[in-house]
Structure 1
Amino acid sequence: MCGIAGATAARHAPVDRTVLKRMTDALAHRGPDGEGLWIADDGEVGLGHRRLSIIDLSSFGAQPMQSASGRFVLSYNGEIYNYLPLRDELTRLGYRFSGHSDTEVIVAGCQLWGLEKTLSRLAGMFALAMWDKQERTLSLARDRIGIKPLYYTVNDGALAFASELRPIVAWRGSLPEISLRGLSEFLRLGYVPSPLSIFEGVHKLPPATVLTFRDGRTAGPTPYWSVGETVARGFARQRHNETAVLDELDARLREIVSQHMISDVPLGAFLSGGIDSSTVTALMQAGSNQPVKTFSIGFDDPAYNEATHAAEVAAHLKTDHTELYVSEQDALAVIPSLPDIYDEPFADISQIPTYLVAQLARQRVTVSLSGDGGDELFGGYNRYTFVSNYWDKLNRIPRPLRSLAAAGINAASPATWDSAFRLLGPALPPRLRPALPGQKMQKIASVLAAPTLYHLQSRLISQWPHPEAVLASGAGGIAEALLPPPVEVSGIPSAAQQMAWDTSTYLVDDILTKVDRATMRVGLEARVPLLDHRLVEFAWEIPLSMKFRDGSGKYILKRLLERYVPRRLFERPKMGFGIPVDSWLRGPLKGWAANYLSHSDRPTHDLFDRAAIDATWREHLDGRIDRGGQLWTVLMFDSWLQRARQWV
């Protein structure tokens, strides 16, 4: 696990070693164990690397690394879990290895098979830059799921790339303009989706693609794998024998977890006590001859505390368990560091506990496995059944009638709806007396007129469904239209389509981004065995009837976990991994938040409609409606921009 950066020459001016080192230094937290710089003899390209030593701790594992022939030079971030059988195959083909790192397997593969075929053979997480001296081509590639990040930009005939944004700013020597499209999507989603970034002209390389750069021109990104094709192929190969599916899922996941446990440094697991992390931990312990080190954090607020459940699972599996109860002050102390930790504006409130558990784990291990990906593959989010059922019913009503009903609801303010429900309260049964009724009626109106399932899901998961409402007038127009669906597969059920969308967007740019930045900030490698592409492909061959059962998801994964952990230890309602942001903004964070949200008279930038934000802030403070999630996006952008201006 590492950080990579590099650039090509600009208009025949060779790569500047000082600039390359500045780029690499900006990634020191991702690789505290070593630094490597390589510049071609003619100065045409330079590759930088920061090393977190995991496999082959010797100098033979250092990067940038050249192939035996000297033709290929690689700077790479990630882990290849099937590198040992690939190494054996390459050895039989005549390649002579110097060390035993997975990095050398990649350069050997490129020498004997070429880059494209090598990528198709790799099982792992990676972002890489490969220079081909013979073809004078720089290639960038990212793993199939998008576990590891990679940004790039082309300016003045040169390309620069890096694991994070800050090295690209160091290369440019100035802060790029804010991307209005990137900003609007950030307000909508709480993260910036690929291929956008928060900077104009800087892009995220999409997962499972290759970009090539030669003679000042780019080709691609070109996909070498596809979520859509994987989903379609999975539905064409549906398996219907539940016992056989369960046995194969067990065997496949055991093997994958075993490969993910290969390490030359101490290794452990994040354990929340939920189904996904418990499954990964159980399989780790089943394959280990000593107690697996597990880590969880707890909160005094029972609504946010999973530590007791994690402790029960750990006790049953007999792991070497470490838990830390985090106070409100501990969590609040992280907030000033969030812009540095996450590099790009990021507003998933679980970013705070994710960083805290990474910090806890790093005290004892250098690698930690997590259960991320189980929700998207096995139907863990409640919205999959709720939204698909709601859409099936909603779609029977002509859209003009739905639009008319939405307009009628919106004709009354949330405060008016609150008053109406208070008056009607005594006459209504308890199940029809919702908390914050005005907020819920507003949400209902926002989805009634949705023209497609994609629009419906987008509105339900959005922080600001209409970000143009809080963008300044000059920036608002670009925010109105949704980005197109990331993947569409014809003929599959609505819930499966939602899962495919999440796998392509939310999982990549929220969940995996959160885990990567939090763990890398403390020099910890996070591995996600449930997102090994070999399991992803198999999971889509499992019919939805084995994922959704009796009104809830993950049926087949629960049956698997039951082989290792009693059901009573994990069968409970899903709990979010977050903080009470609504109450904190009215309490301990009120003064800090007011510095950003109440500065309509002296704004730090002119991108937001400060009057609209101030009105939302006052609504929240009055307790009329909970706006914590929306306000958090504004706070995370403003605090990030304030910090980013200090990068140059």
Structure 2
Amino acid sequence: MCGITGLLTFGSVGRPELLHVVGRMAQAIAHRGPDDHGEWADARHGVALGHLRLSIVDLSAAGHQPMVSASGRFVLVFNGEVYNHAELRRALESEGAAPAWRGHSDTETLLAGFECWGVEATLLRCVGMFALALWDTRERRLQLARDRFGEKPLYYGWVRGAFVFGSELKALRAHPGFAAPVCTHAVAEYLRLLYVPAPWSIHEGVYKLEPGCLLTVQDKPPETAPSQPIRAPGAHGTLSVHRWWKLAQVVEQAARERLRDDAEAIEVLEARLAEAVRLQSLADVPLGAFLSGGVDSSLIVALMQQQSARPVQTFTVAFEDPRYDESPHAAAVARHLGTEHHELRVTSAEARSIVPELPTMYDEPFADSSQIPTHLVCRAARSQVTVALSGDAGDELFGGYNRYLWAPRVWGHVSWLHPAARRAVGGGSLRVAASASEHAAVALRHVRHPAEKMRKLATAMEGAHSVDDLYRNLVACWPAPRALLQDPAGLPERRMELPELPHAGLDGSPARMMYWDALTYLPDDILCKVDRAAMAISLETRVPFLDHRVAELAWRLPPQMKLRAGQTKWALRQVLYRHVPRALVERPKSGFAIPLADWLRGPLREWAESLLEEAGLRDQGFLQGRPIRLAWQQHLAGSHDWSQRLWSVLMFQSWLRTNRVA
């Protein structure tokens, strides 16, 4: 795991200045790679690359980056891991295309692959997570690439005098020509979703490269930024973006290869997951795993321990508030599996002490409040290991979110109502929604705090004309964010944009929700959250569920193998029960939560009040004070729980103050 950055200038710049600027950009993200750093520049073409290294595989100087290929044609900076790089080396050797290896890093393997097979063909052979920048000295071409699901981040954009890129916005801001204002569209989408969705970033003229995409700049970049992000396939002058991997194609292919037999599916799933865990357990540094005691993390740890000759190191955080403390469940699973378990006990005050760090850690507004416990468990792991495996992505791939169960069921029993009647349900007639069908009670059987969930569902039904609309409303924080902006001119109020669906393979609304979540919520919220929380303290995280072969298998499972008898993740549970007794993991899904509503009414109230003061909001120039103050007063009075909405505003205001953005 590392940090990468670089630039391609529009005009003539000397090599010393290029090295100085790229070194400055790299230093801004030094936390991503404390073990080594390097810079490379070619003044003839105005290109410079920078790298920060967190040494995981091949700790020697042979893994130093930027790395030049054996022929001298390619120069590469690479962030991530290619788990099957030993297999790729053997393939190169069998084809007589392997160079005289200098070390055993996956970066060197990639360069040899690019020389032999080409860039896209090599990426398609890779099992891994990555963001990379490649300069082709022969073709005078810069290429940026991101992994299939977006585990590793990559920003790019325009500053005065150069096209720039980096693992985090900090690197781009460190360029002396950076002066990008806040993007109003990004603010609106952030308030809607709690994160800035790709390909947007919080700054105008700066964008995120979307997962599975390859960006190419031929020779010199365009000197001005496009007014809108470039979506694949698309181009802007000499810059083009296209997808080298498409989830839609995976879903369509899976529809032709459905697994129909339960027993066969469970066997194949366990074997595929075990192989992913084996590959991701390879490292030249200490390795462990997060363990919450839930289905996903317990299964990853069980498969790790099954393959390990010594106890796996596992990590969890214990909170003093029993409503949010999952540590007893994690400890029970750890005892059963025989892991070396580490439990970090954290007081509420210690957890709240993370809050001032969040605007810097997350680099742009980000308001998933589980960012706090996520960073805490990363800290716990980093005290003992350099790499930690997680159970992320199990929900999106195998049907783990409660909305997949109860939203379609409840909608099916109220969709026949006249829209005015549905608005009445959405406006507060919770008993109507809850009693619309006995199936609603079944769907909520495995839900923690079902009354809160039903309240959110009832609100989401207001204005919904289909179950897809209901999904949009369920994932929205502020449903009409444009109304919060001081200057919404030119920004129409519109529904949340959803990725285009594949032509086949999505059987029913739960499958559509999983597909949309995999393309939006997973990369832009879950993976972003974990990457920043971990890399802030130089911890590498790995996600076995995102081995693309596991994901492909997940889409081959029919819906009834994911959601069955009112229960989520049915197939994963069947694999887990082979290793862990059912009683240890069967409990309502809770997520990685904190008592945010109570904190805002109590110990964080003074801090929140300072950021939500109406004159201050007005002076900032972005958000209207009146609707926000109303939500704050209702929350303090206890008539509503607006903690999520308020947290989004607080994180935005805190980010503005920290980053001194005009």
Matching residue's letter, 1:280 = I
Shift of 1:155: 4.5
> What is residue 635 of structure 1 aligned with on the other side?
650
How far, CA to CA, are the matches of 1:556 and 1:438 in structure 2? 28
Shift of 1:645: 1.6
Match of 1:266 in 2: 286
Asked if 2 retains the 8 angstrom alpha-carbon contact of 1:206 and 1:221, the reply is no
**2:9 aligns to what?**
9
Give the root-mean-square deviation of aligned CA atoms. 2.2
Aligned to 2:524: 509
Query: How many Å apart are 1:437 and its aligned residue?
Result: 9.3
Superposition map of 1:605-644 within 5 A: 605-644=620-659
TM superposition shift of 1:602: 6.7
Amino acid at match of 1:484: E
**Counterpart residue number, 1:426:** none
C-alpha offsets along residues 171-195 of structure 1, whole Å, 9 cap, x if unaligned?
A: 2544411111111111001001110
* Residue from 163, 174, 178 that aligns with 2:167: 163
Structure 1 unaligned spans of 5+: 419-430
SS of residue paired to 1:75: strand
Q: Deviations over 1:140-160 (max 9, x none)?
A: 000001100000013467321
What SS class does the counterpart of residue 654 from structure 2 fall into? helix
For residues 393 and 628 of structure 2, the distance between their equivalents in structure 1, rounded to whole angstroms, comes to 34
Q: Which moved more, 1:71-80 or 1:155-164?
A: 155-164
Q: How many residues align?
A: 623
State how 1:447-526 maps to structure 2 within 5 Å: 447-472=461-486, 474-475=487-488, 478=491, 480-490=493-503, 492=506, 493-526=508-541
Over 3 Å counting, the alpha-carbon distance change for 1:440 and 1:453 in structure 2 is closer
2:568 aligned with 1:553: yes
Q: What's the CA shift for 1:552?
A: 1.0
Which residue is 2:22 aligned to?
20
CA contact (8 A) 2:39 2:50 kept: yes
Q: 3-state DSSP class of the match of 1:289?
A: coil
Q: Is the 8 A contact 2:159 2:178 kept in 1?
A: no
CA distance in 2, matches of 1:453, 1:269: 37
Q: Would you say 1:29 and 2:31 are equivalent positions?
A: yes
Give, in angstroms, the shift of residue 597 of structure 1: 0.8
Counting only pairs closer than 5 Å after superposition, residues 204-243 of structure 1 correspond to structure 2 as: 204-214=208-218, 215-216=220-221, 217-243=237-263
Q: In structure 1, what is the equivalent of residue 228 of structure 2?
A: none
In the alignment, what sits opposite 1:427?
Answer: none
**Does the residue aligned with 1:600 lie in a helix, a strand or coil?**
helix
How far 1:482 moved relative to its partner? 2.7
Contact 1:467–1:479, Cα closer than 8 Å, also in 2: no
Q: 1:47 aligns with which of 46, 49, 53?
A: 49
Preserved contact between residue 611 and residue 617 of structure 2 (Cα < 8 Å): no
Counterpart-to-counterpart distance in 1, 2:275 and 2:378: 25
Query: Shift of residue 457 of structure 1?
Result: 0.8
AA aligned to 2:251 is V
Q: In 1, are the aligned partners of 2:305 and 2:339 still within 8 Å (CA)?
A: yes
The answer as to 2:307 corresponding to 1:290 is no
Task: Say whether the 8 Å CA contact 1:210–1:221 is kept in structure 2.
Answer: yes
Deviation, 1:251, is: 1.1
The CA deviation string for residues 274-312 of structure 1, in whole angstroms up to 9 with x for no partner, is: 000000000000001011000000112222111000000
Give the distance between the partners of 2:176 and 2:291, measured in 1 at CA: 41
| Match of residue 597 from structure 1 | 612
2:212 and 2:245 in contact (8 A); partners too: yes
| 2:371 equivalent in structure 1 | 351
Q: Distance in 1 between matches of 2:54 and 2:593?
A: 28
- How do 1:233-382 and structure 2 match up within 5 A? 233-382=253-402
After superposing the two structures, state which structure 1 stretch, 548-557 or 474-483, moved more.
474-483
SS of 1:54 mapped into structure 2: coil
Distance 1:196 1:463 in 2: 18
Shift of 1:483: 4.0
> Aligned partners of 1:22, 1:203: CA distance in 2, in Å?
21
User: Contact 1:345–1:636 at 8 Å: present in 2 too?
Assistant: yes
TM-score, with length taken from structure 2 = 0.90
Counterparts of 2:453 and 2:579 in 1: how far apart (Å)? 43
* Shift in Å, 1:89: 1.2
Question: Given the superposition, is the C-alpha separation of residues 556 and 441 from structure 1 closer, same or farther in structure 2, using an over 3 Å criterion?
Answer: closer
Question: For structure 1, which segment, 93-102 or 599-608, has the greater mean C-alpha deviation from structure 2 after superposition?
Answer: 599-608
Query: Given the superposition, is the C-alpha separation of residues 78 and 508 from structure 1 closer, same or farther in structure 2, using an over 3 Å criterion?
Result: same
Alignment-derived partner of residue 423 in structure 1 = none
**SS at 2:354 equivalent:** helix
CA distance in 1, matches of 2:544, 2:619: 43
Q: CA deviation at 1:445?
A: 5.1
Query: For 2:343, what is the secondary structure of its paired residue?
Result: strand
User: 1:515 and 1:445 mapped to 2: Cα distance?
Assistant: 30
Q: CA deviation at 1:604?
A: 4.6
* Alpha-carbon distance, 1:247 to partner: 0.9
Return the letter of the residue paired with 2:421.
Answer: A
Match of 1:125 in 2: 129
On the 8 A contact 2:425/2:461 being kept in 1, the answer is no
TM-aligned CA distance change 1:394 to 1:222, over 3 Å? farther
Take 1:487 and 1:142, find their aligned partners in 2: how far apart are those partners? 20
Structure 2 residue 150 is matched with structure 1 residue 146: yes
CA distance in 2, matches of 1:601, 1:281: 48
Alpha-carbon offset, residue 489 of structure 1: 2.9
Out of 484-493 and 298-307, give the one that drifted further: 484-493
State TM-score, norm by structure 1.
0.92
Indicate the residue corresponding to 2:433 in structure 1.
Answer: none
In the alignment, the residues of structure 2 paired with residue 227 and residue 17 of structure 1 have an alpha-carbon distance, to the nearest angstrom, of: 38
Q: Which residue of 2 aligns with 1:386?
A: 406
Structure 1 counterpart of 2:111, one-letter code: V
Whether contact under 8 Å (1:73, 1:130) holds in the other structure is: yes
C-alpha distance in structure 1 between counterparts of 2:455 and 2:30, whole Å = 48
Distance 1:439 1:222, change over 3 A: closer
Structure 1 position 536, deviation (Å): 0.3
Q: Is the 8 A contact 2:423 2:461 kept in 1?
A: no
Distance change (3 Å), C-alpha of 1:42 and 1:355: same
47-56 vs 169-178, which moves further = 169-178
2:421 aligns with 405
Residue of structure 1 equivalent to 2:544? 529
Aligned match for 2:139, one of 135, 151, 160: 135
Partner of 2:69: 67
Alignment partner, residue 587 of structure 1: 602
CA 1:50–1:445: 2 relative to 1, 3 Å: closer
- 2: CA distance, partners of 1:553 / 1:271: 19
Letter in 2 for 1:561: L
1:242 Cα deviation after fit? 1.1
Matched, 1:188 2:192: yes
Contact 1:409 1:442 in 2 (8 A): no
Is structure 2 residue 109 aligned with structure 1 residue 94? Answer: no
227-236 or 275-284: bigger deviation:
227-236
Matching residue of 1:79: 81
CA distance in 2, matches of 1:213, 1:166: 22
State how far apart, in whole Å, the 2-side matches of 1:405 and 1:33 are.
Answer: 62
For residues 332-386 of structure 1, the C-alpha deviation after alignment (integer angstroms, 9 at most, x for no partner) is 1100101111111110010000000001110100000000010011111010021
Q: Deviations over 1:592-613 (max 9, x none)?
A: 0000112426745111001221
Segment of structure 1 superposing worse, 597-606 or 206-215: 597-606
Q: Is the 8 A contact 1:370 1:526 kept in 2?
A: yes
Which stretch of the first structure deviates more once superposed, 224-233 or 181-190?
A: 224-233
Identity of aligned residues (%): 46
